[in-house]
Amino acid sequence: MYEPDLILVDNRGGNLQPAVLKKRKPTWARLPAVRADRTFPWAVEERYSHAGYAPRIEQLAAALRQSEPLSS
């Protein structure tokens, strides 16, 4: 089984967020990324230009920089 070092979570309203998932879903709570608090919000709304995508890519890069591999 693949156990991710980082999980991007859909941040739209109406979706379960990491804190709720951790309480309600034991499988989620056991994931190494969740135990290490390596879940990051991800805005999934469509962007229609490179200027619109640039901030999202920068957020993704920041999340990746903060997430050292949890396993070898």
Is 50 inside a domain boundary?
yes
At 42 the pLDDT is 86
Residue 20 lies in a domain: yes
Per the domain annotation, does 2 fall within a domain? no
pLDDT value at residue 27: 92
| pTM for the whole structure | 0.74
What pLDDT score does 71 carry? Answer: 66
pLDDT tens-digit map of 25-68: 999 999 999 999 999 988 887 788 889 889 888 988 988 888 77
The total number of structural domains that make up the chain: 1
pLDDT greater at residue 69 or residue 17: 17
Domain range for residue 26?
7-66
| 56 closest CA partner among 44, 71, 68, 38 | 44
Query: Residue 1 domain-assigned?
Result: no
Token output for 4: 């991710």
With 80 as the cut, is the pLDDT of residue 2 above it?
A: no
